[in-house]
């Protein structure tokens, strides 16, 4: 009798559709979960929500998606070590993730050396898709150049002629300042930059930094500090009067991850890129926000958008490729359209950059917390160089 039952179960298994017996498609995901939890916690929630949605609908190509995640601890060498383990031992079809720009560049180099696709979720440096771009690497978020272009457009409308900059002294900060200076001076040739401050990432000495900026007497400031450095800079700047009668244009500051710790200390009227999650009422965003709140009993952050959109882009790519063969996946990425809570976006074939945009507006305080006002969505496609210009920026592949 037992043998009959076992035989029956075996025959039933054979009768199942082949797709139902296939192994899941593994995605290797690497990020700074212990180093930047304010962003990467919501980011993880975002990609998990997307994985659940895809799998509830039957997966992709008849196979479920499975994310195998690792922590890079903010170190490029740890990220590369994790990527190697994911490829060699977990047999992932591709890798994704990254937060810091230097980590993203290390993963991009790994992808090129090991001939595996890498979708950079968060790293913003322009080098990732231009000067150090490669056949295997693509990027989701709007780059430093794109967001600097959005902010330079607004900065050019200000009467300020003398500018100062403050940015973390690593690839992201350097790239952002270089792009902003170039783009603003193209629009306003009379603008000069009278001071630059380069604090170490996560170790800003806010007093001396603010004092040096005050000594330069700029009309306006371009700020690129974020995470734990931002509140220190804001508080010291307010105490010493740095922001009084001065315009501030600030990259990323409108994201909930960075506004939330400031609460009612959020500075008023800074021009920022960010994410006014509670105010966006498009159908795509409302559906995402409702699903996120239902699953996590919490509101989304920008990291949630990035994580969710990463998986949605990968699922769309796999469907188009019809395979997990690396070259077929890479071919599918070129011109790929995919859905995000911000609307449709696509990956450009010329530089592997997504056209996903960002929200631009001003900071304000409402009900005791920081948020954005006077905002609009800046479509990333409008802030990218042409394909002809990309040929000069990107080495021949």
pLDDT higher than 70, residue 101: yes
pLDDT at 397: 59
Element (H, E) at 346: strand 343-346
Task: For 241-258, give the DSSP string.
Answer: TTTTT-EEEEEEEESHHH
> What Å distances lie between residue 271 and 25, 154, 240, 251, CA to CA?
42, 8, 20, 8
pLDDT higher than 60, residue 5: no
pLDDT at 19: 42
Give, in degrees to the nearest 5, the angle at Cα 101 between 202 and 326.
150
For 106, what's the count of Cα atoms within 13 Å in the CB-facing half-sphere? 22
Structure-block tokens of residue 167? 């940015």
Contact 31, 98 (CB under 8 A): yes
* pLDDT tens string 287-321: 999 999 999 999 999 999 999 999 999 999 999 99
Contacts 24+ apart (CB under 8 A), 107-110: 107/30, 107/79, 107/80, 107/83, 107/137, 108/132, 108/133, 108/134, 108/136, 108/137, 109/134, 110/79, 110/80, 110/83, 110/84
% of the chain residues with pLDDT over 90: 93
Identify which has the larger pLDDT, 10 or 279. 279
| pTM beyond 0.75 | yes
Task: For 143-157, give the DSSP string.
Answer: -HHHHHHHHHHHHTT
In a 10 Å sphere around its CB, with 0-12 CB exposed, 13-18 middle and 19+ buried, how is residue 306 labelled?
Answer: buried
For 194, what's the count of Cα atoms within 13 Å in the CB-facing half-sphere? 16
344 — phi, psi (to 5°)?
-75, 150
pLDDT (average), residues 43-54: 98
Structure-block tokens of residue 190? 């009379």
pLDDT higher than 80, residue 396: no
Structure-block tokens of residue 376? 């609009």
> What Å distances lie between residue 313 and 59, 138, 317, CA to CA?
13, 11, 6
pLDDT (average), residues 267-278: 98
Residue with token string 């930094």:
209
Identify which has the larger pLDDT, 387 or 16. 387
pLDDT higher than 80, residue 70: yes
What secondary structure letter does DSSP report for 322? T
pLDDT (average), residues 155-162: 98
* pLDDT tens string 226-263: 999 999 999 999 999 999 999 999 999 999 999 999 99
Structure-block tokens of residue 265? 């200390």
Cα 355 from Cα 385, distance rounded (Å)? 11
What domains lie within the chain, and their CATH numbers?
22-143+281-357 (3.40.50.2300), 145-279+359-383 (3.40.50.2300)
pLDDT at 36: 87
Range in 36-40, 293-297, 384-388 the model is least confident about: 36-40
* pLDDT tens string 240-250: 999 999 999 99
* pLDDT tens string 321-357: 999 999 999 999 999 999 999 999 999 999 999 999 9
Identify which has the larger pLDDT, 337 or 396. 337
pLDDT higher than 70, residue 11: no
pLDDT at 336: 98
The sheet that has 94-97: what strands, in order across it? 65-71, 25-31, 94-97, 118-120, 137-139
pLDDT higher than 70, residue 9: no
Residue 372's contacts (CB-CB under 8 Å, 6 or more residues apart) are 254, 272, 274, 275, 276, 279, 359, 361, 362, 363, 364
pLDDT (average), residues 2-8: 44
Cα 275 from Cα 179, distance rounded (Å)? 22
Buried b / exposed e across 203-241, counting CB within 10 Å, b at 16+? ebebeebbeebbeeebbbbbbbbbbebbbbbbebbeeee
Residue with token string 């080098």:
127
Contact 369, 147 (CB under 8 A): no
pLDDT at 21: 55
pLDDT at 389: 94
Residue with token string 């190509």:
61
> What Å distances lie between residue 88 and 28, 82, 83, 202, 246, CA to CA?
11, 10, 8, 33, 53
Cα 18 from Cα 26, distance rounded (Å)? 18
Average model confidence (pLDDT) across the chain: 94
């Amino acid at each position: 009798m037992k043998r009959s039952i076992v035989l029956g179960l075996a025959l039933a298994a054979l009768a199942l559709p082949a797709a139902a017996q296939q192994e899941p498609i593994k995605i290797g995901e690497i990020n700074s979960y212990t180093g930047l939890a304010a962003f990467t916690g919501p980011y993880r929630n975002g990609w998990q929500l997307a994985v659940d949605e895809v799998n509830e609908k039957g997966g992709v190509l008849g196979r479920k998606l499975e994310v195998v995640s690792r922590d890079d601890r903010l170190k490029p060498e740890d990220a590369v070590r994790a990527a190697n383990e994911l490829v060699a031992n977990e047999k992932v079809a591709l890798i994704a993730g990254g937060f810091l720009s230097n980590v993203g560049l290390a993963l991009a180099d790994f992808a090129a050396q090991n001939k595996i696709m890498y979708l950079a979720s968060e790293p913003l440096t322009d080098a990732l898709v231009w000067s150090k771009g490669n056949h295997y690497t693509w990027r989701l978020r709007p780059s430093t150049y794109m967001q600097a272009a959005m902010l330079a457009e607004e900065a050019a409308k200000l009467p300020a002629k003398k500018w100062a900059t403050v940015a973390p002294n690593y690839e992201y900060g350097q790239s952002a300042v270089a792009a902003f200076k170039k783009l603003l001076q193209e629009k306003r040739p009379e603008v000069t930059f009278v001071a630059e401050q380069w604090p170490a990432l996560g170790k800003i000495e806010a007093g001396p930094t603010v004092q040096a900026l005050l000594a330069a007497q700029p009309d306006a400031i371009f700020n690129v500090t974020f995470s734990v450095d931002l509140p220190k800079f804001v508080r010291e700047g307010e105490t010493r009067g740095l922001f009084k009668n001065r315009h501030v244009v600030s990259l990323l500051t409108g994201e909930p991850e960075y506004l939330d710790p400031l609460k009612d200390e959020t500075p008023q009227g800074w021009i920022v890129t960010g994410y006014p999650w509670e105010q966006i009422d498009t159908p795509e965003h409302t559906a995402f926000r409702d699903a996120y709140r239902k699953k996590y009993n919490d509101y989304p952050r920008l990291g949630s958008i990035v994580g969710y959109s990463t998986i949605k882009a990968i699922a769309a790519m796999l469907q188009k490729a019809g395979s997990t063969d690396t070259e077929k996946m890479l071919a599918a990425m070129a011109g790929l359209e995919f859905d995000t809570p911000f609307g449709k976006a696509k990956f450009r074939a010329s530089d592997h950059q997504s056209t996903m945009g960002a929200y631009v507006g001003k900071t304000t305080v409402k009900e005791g917390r920081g948020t954005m006002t006077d905002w609009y969505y800046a479509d990333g496609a409008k802030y990218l160089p042409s394909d002809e210009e990309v040929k000069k920026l990107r080495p021949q592949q």
